[in-house]
Each structure stands twice: as C-alpha cells, then as structure tokens.
C-alpha cells in the first residue's frame, strides 16, 4: 500500500497586509510555484515530504535551474 501525502503549493504563503500586495505580482506567483515544484520533485527522489527537506537543497536547485545564458545580448 502506498502512502499518499498532499502538500499545498502555489500561493499558500503567509505575509502581513503590507507584503500581500506584492504577492499578487505574476513573477512572485511563478517563483513560488517553481520552488514548490522543485520541493515536490526533490522530496519524491528522497522519499520524504517537502516539509522535511533541507531548505538549501531547494535553493541550490533553483540557482542551478536559473543559471542559463541570456536569450539576447544587450
């Protein structure tokens, strides 16, 4: 029998009323979604929950994934 664990993703984030306005910006939504997806992928590989992951493992993968050559040279 397989254990199923559901973790929230996307805009499930805590912030005060001043910071909430910036959370509605599309880039912020995409960044939190990307981090949630990476946490889910790493947790599947390590057979654990995203909550139990080392946060820096997610940060390192984000840095690795975002380290790309620019599409256009200025």
Name the band, by pLDDT with cuts 50, 70 and 90, for residue 50: confident
Task: State how far the alpha carbon of 17 is from the alpha carbons of 23, 28, 31, in Å.
Answer: 10, 16, 20
Give me the pLDDT at residue 9, please: 55
pTM, whole model, 2 decimals?
Answer: 0.63
Q: Rounded distance, CA 58 to CA 39, Å?
A: 6
Q: Rounded distance, CA 18 to CA 46, Å?
A: 37
- Average pLDDT along the chain: 79
User: For the chain, what percent of residues have pLDDT higher than 90?
Assistant: 32
Name the band, by pLDDT with cuts 50, 70 and 90, for residue 6: low
């Amino acid at each position: 029998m397989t254990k199923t664990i559901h973790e929230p993703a996307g805009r499930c984030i805590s912030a005060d009323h001043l910071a909430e306005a910036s959370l509605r910006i599309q880039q912020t939504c995409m960044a939190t979604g990307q981090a949630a997806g990476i946490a889910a992928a790493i947790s599947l590989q390590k057979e654990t929950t995203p909550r139990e992951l080392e946060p820096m493992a997610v940060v390192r993968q984000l840095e690795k994934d975002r380290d790309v050559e620019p599409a256009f040279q200025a």
